[in-house]
Every structure is written in C-alpha cells, then in structure tokens.
Amino acid sequence: MGWLGVTSSATGRRWVGLTPEQERFAEAIAQTGQPLALSRHLARRGVPPDEVASFLEPRLRDLLPDPLTLRDMGTAADRILVAVENRQRIAIFADYDVDGGTSAALLVWWLRGLGRVATTYVPDRIDEGYGPNAPAIAALARDHDLIICVDCGTLSHEALAAADGLADVIVLDHHLGGETLPPAVAVVNPNRQDEDGTLAHLCAAAVVFLCLVEANRRLKADGTTGPDLMAMLDLVGLATVADVAPLVGVNRALVQQGLKVLRDRRRPGLRALADVARMDGPPTPYHLGYLLGPRINAGGRVGASDLGARLLSTDDDAEAAALAERLDALNGERRAIEARVTETALEQALDRLADGGALAWASGDGWHPGVVGIVASRLKEASNRPSVVIGIREDGFGQGSARSIAGVDIGAAVQRLAAEGLLVKGGGHRMAAGLTVAGDKIDAAMARLSDLLARQGADRTGPRDLIIDATLMPGAATRDLIAKLEQAGPFGQGASAPRFAFPDLRVAHARPVGDGHLKITFTGGGPGRLDAIAFRASASGIAAAIDRAAGAPLHVAGRLEVNRWQGREDVQLKLEDVALVAETDR
C-alpha cells in the first residue's frame, strides 16, 4: 500500500512513507520540542533523538578529521612547505571540472597569502583528455621544482614518470586507486586501496583543504600564521556540491560553512559569476549545483579548459567580470549541444533497455566529449539505471562518461574493464567515471559492464519509490516551517530535502512557463492555497495528469521552497509528482 494509497503516480512511482522504526524515532524527536514535520524528516535521515541538537548545528571543528589520518599527508604538507620556504617553482596540474578548478584555486590563494605564485596547468579536454599526460608533465618538470596534481594523477603511472627526477610530484586526489601507486613523493587520496574508506566521500578540493590545514598547523608550530582557510570554504563547498559528493558528516559542515562565506561575496570570480547567473537571494546548494557549477564547467566542456580555474583564482575584478561573461556564453553553447545529443541518446538507451538490462548506454559519431557526462546523468534519471554515453572521435576511439545510482559502484566496474583490456583506459569513483574505448570494442565493453553492474543489483531497480516525509495541508506551508526545515540542511546528494504530500487538492489555475514547465495554484485541503511549479511537467507526465484530472481532486507531492521574484518572497512547492485521487488504492 502506498502513502495516501498512491501505488502508481503520474510519474509511475509508488509513494512511500516512514518505516515503523522511523515513526517511533519521529515521535521521540517531536517530544524534544521539534515540529512534527522536521521530526519526521530527521527520523527518515536516521538521526537518533539524542543527536538532534548537534545535527541541527554542525560544527566544522567537531567534524573535521585529523588530516594525518590520510596516508602521505604529512609528507605532502612538508614538501609543499619546503617549496614555499625555498621559493621553489611550483606548478599545479588540475582537472578541468569544478572540483579540479576549485582545488587549483585553493592552492593558488593559499600560496598567494604566503607571497608565492604558482603556474596552473589544465589539460585540453579534447586534445589531451583527462589527467596528467607525459608531454605536459615533462614540460612542467623542466621549468618547475614541484608539481602538484589535483583531482587527478592516482592512476597516471606513465605520465608522472615523465617528471624523470627533474621535479617532485605530489598527488592530491579522490578517484579510485589501483593496486600500485604512481611515482610521486606523496599520493594523498582517501580512495587509495590501502585506506580504510572512512573519508571516501571527500571530493578532491576537500582533500586539498585538509592538506592545507596540516600545512598551516605546521606553520603555527614554527611560529608562523598561515593564510585564513575558513575564508576559502566557499571553494570547498562549491566543489563538494558540484562533484555530487554526499552531504553527510564533514561534507555537510563544509558546505554549510562554505555557503556562509559565499554569502559575503568576497571572491571576485564567484561574485562576478553569481551576477551573470542572476542569482537571487542567499546562496543555496541549488545555486552551487545548477547555476555556478555548470558555468565553471563550461570552459572545460566546450571552451578553453583553464577558464574555470582562472576565474576562481583571480583577484582582479575586471578579469573576473570578463571571464564570467565568457563562461556564461559558453554555458549557453553547451546547453544547445547537450539538447541535441540527449534526444538521440535517450532514444537509443531506452530502446536497448526495452528487454531489460543493468546499463543504459548510447554512443554516437562526433558527440562532443564535453557533454557526454551531462547526457549520461539524463539517461540515469530517465531509466534509474547506471548509464554510459560515448562520443566517437574521428580517430575511431570512443570517449565516454558514466554515471551511477545509489548502491552501485560504477568506478570500480569501469576500472575492472580497463584491467581486462576492454577499455584503453578508465577510472573514477562510485558515482561517476570516465573511459576511452576502441570503436570496435564498444559493444563488447558495454555488455561486460552491464554484466558487472548486474552483479551489484543494478538490473533489479524498478520504478523509483517517492519517499514522503509527512502529509501537510496548504495552510501549514509557511516561511516559519521552511526556516525550521532548513536547519537540517544543506540538502543535496545523500541528504535529500524534506518531501511532503498534500492530499485532496484541486487545480485553481495552471499555466505553462518556459520550456515545458507549469505554474499551478492549488486549493482545497483546508484554508489557504498552495502555489507550485513543476519543472519538465510535459516530459514527466505531470502536465498530462493535471489535464486528465479536469478539476477532480489530486494528491500532490514535492518540496517546499521560498520563491524570490522582484523583491517578493513567497512559499512555493517544487512539484515532483501528482496522483488522481480516483486512481489511488483507498
């Protein structure tokens, strides 16, 4: 039996409430004085009643791990400090995505605070591909004493060997490691095979941040005050959200504190980018993941790979404004390219899944490598399966990106394919991976990958359940309630926002907005009205269900938010699903 009797909604999902154990937790939490809606959400998140107070006010000082719990951390911090003290030439080799750009910027700002400069090198996505390559490393080694690879390098044995003793190499990364480590002075990575995995959820920028915490600690022991790292948490928070790291434990505190720093608008690049993105209101994880992140990524996807890192590192307002404008324009180009590839890829992937299977995948000649990752995410959302999208280059090789679902480790599976020789190369982490494959091996590689993912249960995922925290009436959807709920944030990957069901409502007004979206006003279920917006309503089936209702009562479900428009702030439901009352199992 579904929540409110909904077993098959407009989007084909069953609505599910709390388990009996979670119901008991919710009652206990409510007895501490918390609102019932918040209590039920906390219970669903698994927060014990005696830990509610500390959960609602997470402190970074309590959650930040000792950097030295990661292997090679002390060696890395020492080598960086030697370079600083001796005025050695430092190069930063960074990945071209948000995590790589923020990681590079963290080091640039920290070194700048000590009166030092560094060369930042970001490889071209198309010409050089992901991670260090031998020609680039060799060139950097000739002109520098220390090369720091961030968000890459753990599997780059041959490329790092090209430093050939001319420069020391440090790797600060979070991608899955292999059985052996590359030739480097230090490889700091919570996903090394000899780590215990307790910090495996950190993004690369968080690893860099911990390294700088340790470096500052050593400076303090020598009587020197290091640069203010708390002021750099906007970069760490941005990377954590954009890299879809789970917002649990220390990640949650990093993002929460990062949002506070971002609110002060002190970093020229992020201030300029927020302006061109027309950010309204205080920054939230949504702004990081859907407004700032895609624009920073746009340089690496369809423009110059180093634009994002340059924007985040600059201390010049004029340069920041110019870079932000360029990235905003490139993001528009990226969206147009993405739309064209998505349509074809979805048709391919869903056709292949018609007979079942554990993997949604598609490939096409000339598909831009800068958008295959985004399109893979679209396939994952549409199919609830791990997904791979491959663009076949002129040389006949395919360059692809993979995305996964909860409970399925795509990075390990891709890495195994590479070890078996079905891929030219491949690697990543649990939720995302990249790969290169010969054109004549694509079918065999995808069949093998599907088999490996099926062993993890990826083929047994049916239509997703929609988890409901509580039932509310329209009159209960207030600013005060939203403020209370936000104490449990920030919300994102691994920490979904509270979702509520509103029973027996009727559509008072509905009008299309944008590209397939719908603005709706609901009434019923007691006094008051409920304003809502349904994104992609046409594609999801929500618009068709509302038309079919023709004034009949509906159960609706979604997440409450504050809609800011032209100086006004109103409560709005971000509508995710509807169900006709007449079609429920009541």
pLDDT tens digits, residue range 369-409? 889 999 999 999 888 899 999 999 999 999 999 999 888 99
End-to-end CA distance of the chain: 9
Domain-embedded: residue 306: yes
30 and 93 part of one domain? no
Cβ-contact 197, 87 below 8 angstroms: no
Residue 194 lies in a domain: yes
pTM above 0.75, yes or no: yes
Same domain, 7 and 23: no
Nearest to 308 by CA among 70, 485, 88, 96: 96
Q: What is the pLDDT of residue 357?
A: 87
pLDDT at 462: 58
Give the residue among 88, 85, 84 at the shortest CA–CA distance from 144: 88
Total of domains in the chain: 4
The C-alpha angle with vertex 378 and arms to 572 and 494, in degrees rounded to 5, equals 60
pLDDT grade for 463, boundaries at 50, 70 and 90:
low
| Spatial distance between the Cα atoms of 90 and 145, rounded to a whole number of angstroms | 6
Residue 62 tokens, joined: 């309590």
Q: Tell me: pLDDT of 130 over 90.
A: no
520 occurs within a structural domain: yes
CATH number at residue 376: 3.10.310.30
Q: Which H/E stretch holds residue 564?
A: strand 554-565
Percent of the chain with pLDDT over 70: 99
Q: What is the CATH number of the domain that holds 9?
A: 2.40.50.140
**Do 267 and 133 reside in the same domain of the chain?**
yes
Domain housing 263: 63-328
Strands 119-121 and 90-94, by their bridges, are parallel
Torsion 437-440-442-448 (CA) sign: negative
> How many CB atoms lie under 10 A from the CB of residue 134?
15
Residues 246 and 382 in one domain: no
Here the CATH number for the domain that contains residue 303 is 3.90.1640.30
On whether residue 56 sits in a domain, the answer given is no
Is residue 243 situated within a structural domain?
Answer: yes
Instruction: Among 444, 460, 476, give the residue marking a domain's end.
Output: 460
Assess whether 192 and 89 both reside in one domain: yes
Question: Residue for token digits 């307790």?
Answer: 198
Asked if 10 and 577 count as a contact pair (C-beta separation under 8 A), the reply is yes
The CA distance from 442 to 421, in Å, is: 12
Q: What is the pLDDT of residues 195-214, one digit of tens each?
A: 999 999 999 999 999 999 99
| Same-domain check for residues 295 and 314 | yes
441 and 484 together in one domain: no
Signed CA dihedral, 239, 244, 246, 252: sign only: positive
Whether 158 and 68 map to the same domain: the answer is: yes
Residues 324, 390, single domain; the answer is no
140 and 263, same structural domain?
yes
Identify which of 534, 478, 488 has the alpha carbon closest to the alpha carbon of residue 507.
534
Do 139 and 9 have their domain in common? no
Would you say 428 and 414 are in contact if contact means Cβ atoms under 8 Å apart?
yes
Structure tokens at 11: 């989007």
- Which of 425, 460, 495 is the endpoint of a domain? 460
Give the sign of the dihedral formed by CA 367, CA 373, CA 379, CA 382.
negative
Same domain membership, residue 80 and residue 8: no
Omega before 490 within 30 of 0, i.e. cis: yes
Q: What is the pLDDT of residues 151-193, one digit of tens each?
A: 999 999 999 999 999 999 999 999 999 899 999 999 999 999 9
**Which pair of structure tokens corresponds to residue 498?**
């509270």
Is residue 348 a part of any domain in this protein?
no
Residue 485 maps to a domain: yes
Residue 292 falls inside a structural domain: yes
**E-assigned strand segments in 393-523:** 397-403, 425-428, 432-438, 466-467, 470-471, 500-513, 517-523
* Minimum mean pLDDT range among 47-51, 205-209, 354-358, 541-545: 354-358
Q: Taking residues 116-138, report their average pLDDT.
A: 93
